[in-house]
Structure 1
Amino acid sequence: MNIPLNDYVIQIEEGLLSKINEDIKTFYEFRELFILTDENLFKLYEKELKKELKDFDLKFVVIPAVEQSKSLDTYAKSINELIGLGIKKNHLLIAFGGGVVGDLAGFIAATLYRGVPFIQIPTSLLAMVDSSIGSKTGIDILEGKNLIGAFKNPLKVYIDPLLLKTLPKVEYKNGLAEVIKAGLIGNKTLYEYVKVHDTLTLEEIIMAIKVKVDIVKKDPFEKNERMFLNFGHTFGHAIERHYDYAIKHGVAISYGMLFSLEIGTKLGITEKGLYEEVKDILMRLELVKEPLLDKTLFTKYFANDKKNLADGLRFIFIEQVGQPKIQKGVKF
């Protein structure tokens, strides 16, 4: 299936990795391909990538497989390596990995030589349904998550769900948090599915992707509706920062979603019962546990949240499943 988004296409198909060699040749004329990936994926897929991309000369830049790789230091080191390998402005950069790899490679593609072409090949569920889509790139700094970044369209996003077979169970659950979010903000059918299932079929992956695509099409640069995608992320990013990114993104936003639902219920915004229902889902998936984190620990980080604009913080609530709401001026 091909899903168009602005100036590029998201291609979704099981076994797609075996077809991209010929597809890349339809829009890229050079032999060298530059691939940014992480240490774990390099060990798992180096031989397969060389086999599937047999008509190209692959040059790898390999980063540590941790959130801390989304840093200015790793950004600079990766650029130095790419230049040392001979990358030019019209060479193609490939992000092969999860959200960390995709965000870092995208920011490199946006800034190296003031822009080089790149494609996304997400390998984690979280990256497939969320971070590889929408053209946001970014790195973390001491003050907060994704505070440095740029919008950069890939030439294509290739999503092959068969890559999930090598994904650790904990990382799969990490991605399910973003699927739950997608259901809550934009697809009741998807939400009802994840209430009772621990794994997804291709159909649910496509549903989750379409939620994001539909929102990004309306608001590509996050002026209004695209903020819906940040449901759970104001607290989530603060939690990640508080624990110095030692906590999984999916776990952090799971707590963030619960905190938003709890506060929304107390304010009369969120329908009664939704908080407990979502809590049960997240407990079953082991994305949260009791006793829950103390949300008062994290509000001090809101000052540097990207949604904290000159006229106040935009906070995302859910009125009922499929109906998100942006609220300005919430006090914590």
Structure 2
Amino acid sequence: MKMALPASEPHQQRKLVPNQGKTRRFDKLNRKMSKLLVYLILLLFSLVFIVPFLWLISGSLKSSTELFADPPIWIPEVLNWSNYKEAFSSFPFLLYLKNTLIVVVFSCVGAVLSNAFIAYGFSRIEWKYRDAVFIVVLATLMLPFQVIMIPLFLLFKDIGWIGTYLPLIVPHFFGNAFFIFLLRQFFKGIPKELSEAAKMDGANEFIVFWKVILPLSKPILATVVIFQFIEAWRDFLGPLIFLSDNSHYTLSLGVQQIMSQNDPRWGLLMAIGVAMTLPIIIIFFFLQRYFIEGITFTGSKG
């Protein structure tokens, strides 16, 4: 009897192996189905954002008859590329594009440099009342632009900046509460041992900030660039208030001029809408990896 027990164990194990294999295959199939379900749900949600843009592209290639047809026509019979030709010739598109790029580029540079420098002081340097001052900075997020619009206009008028790009650029060199918060959270996640090692080698705070912290902060800096690019690119109220000369207008003001006509050409407006949307899509496409990494890393650190 004692000799028979060991001989039966391999037989029992051989019976268990097929069951374990079926369980593993079932678990693997279950994981694949769960992943497929998640992808389908994400696809459905993405259609909410993709469909309006596809309709914008479709409308930019339609004639006026097809644009207001009932039922709606998604694919025009003849691609009406003349809408894009008229979009670039109906108003000084290239001039307004140049003006917009001037504001966008310099405001992005100011946003990156100023907010990174301020956030470094709030996250890596110990000083009295640091947290209290940071709370006051965050409190400015509750102030909408409409509240400070008139005081800013009077201030810039007194110093002679009305009619120039300076009111649209210079304020970005003095920090933004939202960007300061993002950068501070990211900087706090960088090990302090790196800064201490650099200081032991003789580096001062500025060298640590410039040579150690900034090279490690590409994801969050790319995030700031994307947010600031979108804000400056589509800004309408700022240029409307501070710009007085048509030769300084941005694209948003140029589009408003066309929309204010008695009979706006909707196909032309849709073509302009596509032209104004593409740069945002392109910059996000090239910086999306840094953007996702920056947002994820910032949200996971206290």
* TM-score computed with the length of structure 2 as normaliser: 0.25
Q: Tell me which protein shows more strand as a share of its residues.
A: 1
Larger Rg: 2
Q: Which has the higher contact order (CA 8 A, sep 6+)?
A: 2
Q: Tell me which protein shows more helix as a share of its residues.
A: 2
